[in-house]
Amino acid sequence: MRGVILDADSFDRGDLDLASLTASVDHWEIHRATHKTETLQRIAGFDVIVTNKVVINSEAMASPGLQLIVVAATGTNNIDLASAKARGVPVCNVRDYASGAVSQHVFSLILALTTRLHDYAVAVREGRWQKSDVFCLLDHPIGELEGLTLGIIGHGNLGQRVATIARGFGMEVLISARPGRSEIPSGRVPLEVILEQSDVISLHCPLNEHTKDLISAPQLRAMKSTALLINTARGGIINEHDLAEALRAGDIAGAGIDVLTQEPPPANHPLLANDIPNLIVSPHNAWGSVAARQRLANEIARLITAFRSSHPANLCLP
């Protein structure tokens, strides 16, 4: 069996043990990155395709000999699942490998915004502490998480983990009903309640027809002016132009964003402007701890081995 990895740089930077992955097929061809114009040529004749973000469309599904697609991530929106099903090509994804890393990053953003950590670090670099008349700087208001309310939109493994950590900080937790559902299950509250009552809102839902632009200008205006918004889920759940304007207007107090609609973003992306206050944008690396990426590589190997043993796992076909 021959396998090809199309975008290895997206998960391996030369710092992982790839022994199990290497042993999972008889021959690998590894590309660090693949442009869309190169995909068809690079997958031709391979039994197994491993891709993180490279699109595998209906034309690619017709590649001779293709037996298995493994997505080196959880999201499968870069795979034409309908064509895969029609051609009988199994598609597997890697699940729950980065919950520890992402939940850690969520609170890195929350804590940095709440304590104004970046502003104080800049103040020290600029020499303002050194010139202070007293022993400390208190130029920016420092908040505490204890007693605040965290609203979670998306209560899968990751949302549940974030909720557990929040309670450890002494926060109250509200769980949103699933967007697009008319009924409100026990233990959930409507989105409107999340917006009105939360001091921090953290997004952990998929991007679909119910969640695209879920947080736009009306929702931002409904939030507390002191609230923080965190998105480590998917770009497109928040309307990025509306968020930039809401932060400039003071409709909310701050935001921590790890995902954008276009990645890498263009230089003129609305959330990369220099005049937006109390905004932290990280480069979609919340998931990227060494430990999480090692689990990812090991799981890719497990999925291929399971398929070769006639026990495919983590199937994603509709």
Active site residues: 234, 263, 284
For tokens 């020499």, name the residue: 127
List the strands of the sheet with 228-231, edge to edge. Answer: 172-175, 149-153, 200-203, 228-231, 254-257, 279-281
Beta-bridge mates of residue 4: 29, 49
Is-contact 53 77, C-beta < 8 A?
no
| Cα–Cα distance measured from residue 28 to residue 2, given in angstroms and rounded to the nearest whole number | 6
Strand 228-231 relative to strand 27-30, pairing: unpaired
Strand 48-51 relative to strand 279-281, pairing: unpaired
Is-contact 308 67, C-beta < 8 A?
no
